Amino acid sequence: MGMEMNLLDGRAAVVTGSAQGIGLAIATVLARHGASVVVSDVNAEGAEQAAADLEAQGLKAVAVPCDVTDEAAVEALADACKSAFGSLDVLVNNAGITRDATMPKMTLEDFKKVLDVHLTGAWLGTRAAARIMREQRRGAIVNISSISGKAGNFGQTNYSSAKAGMIGLTKASARELARHQIRVNAIQPGPIRTAMTAAMPPEALQKMLDNIPLGRIGEPEDIANAALFLASDLSSFITGITVEVAGGRHM
Ligand code: NAP
């Protein structure tokens, strides 16, 4: 596949929530482009399996279980990348959950839990990674937000709040970290074919598809390719932005 294989040669990347779905696709694409990858997930067994699958494809990967809401575990995750591969050059804050319900039915716990995983988790990851990246004077952080954070989805007051919050986090941390040559950007995926969308009522999914100008659901690789761009030097003068990968939905 030629030169483009070398975009991340010598770089080490951590992808949270990468046992499956979009995170696994991102870990795979980054590794195919030369990165050594830490596959991390709250599902420890899933992370082990995913890392073993990548290694079986001749790619460089290790598994490190981590719940992104656990401050000490996130600090240890960043350190584990540095000790396994000698650096931490790329962090993708991808771990996520949904707890959809309309407000009368949503518990405070469901609201807080979603904020905690997406927003607090991304903040903890950013802080831990930046501690290492600032000494290297190099780093790229990619936050996986959602088009739900731009448009506001019915039944997702928790999720849309968390995903919009991640845009504020992206911009504020991009501003703080630029002087250390650390770039921070976000991706807002539209509907992507994963377990998360498989769990949606079919008629709700169809309604979404009807509103995608490009006329199809997204694939995890569509997000992974955008993450590769933001993680690599192809985007070396880009920081604080949000890339919508949504087939034109909510443009
Ligand atoms: P997914 O298939 O459910 O994968 C998410 C992964 O994150 C799972 O392996 C999950 O583990 C893990 N996770 C959950 N809580 C965690 C925690 N506290 N710490 C570490 N890992 C945790 O979902 P996906 O569709 O690939 O979504 C990935 C990201 O893209 C999420 O941030 C999501 O919000 C975002 N996104 C997805 C879509 C879409 O259409 N799919 C659209 C826009 C944005 P368990 O399975 O054990 O919970």
Q: Give me the CATH number covering residue 226.
A: 3.40.50.720
Domain for residue 248, yes or no? no
Comparing 187 with 5, the larger pLDDT belongs to: 187
User: What single DSSP character describes residue 9?
Assistant: T
Contact assessment for residue 58 and residue 84, using Cβ atoms and an 8 Å cutoff: no
Ligand 1 centre and the CA of 123: distance in Å?
16
pLDDT of residue 9 exceeding 70 = yes
Domain for residue 1, yes or no? no
Write out residues with Cβ below 6 Å of ligand 1.
16-17, 19-23, 41-43, 46, 66-69, 94-97, 117, 144, 146, 189, 191-192, 194-197
Percent of the chain with pLDDT over 90: 93
CA angle, 24 then 93 then 156, to 5° = 95
SS3 159: helix
**Is 159 tagged catalytic?**
yes
Look at phi and psi of residue 154 and say left if phi exceeds 0, alpha if psi is from -120 to 50, else beta: beta
Q: What end-to-end distance do the CA atoms of the chain give, in Å? A: 33
Domain for residue 247, yes or no? no
pLDDT tier for residue 204 given thresholds of 50, 70 and 90: confident
- Average pLDDT of the residues in 156-165: 98
- Average pLDDT of the residues in 202-231: 95
pLDDT of residue 191 exceeding 70 = yes
Q: Which of 73, 159, 174, 186 is catalytic?
A: 159
- Average pLDDT of the residues in 14-21: 98
Q: Which two tokens stand for residue 172?
A: 């504020």
Range of the domain at 103: 8-240
The reported pLDDT for the residue numbered 5 is 59
pLDDT of residue 2 exceeding 50 = no
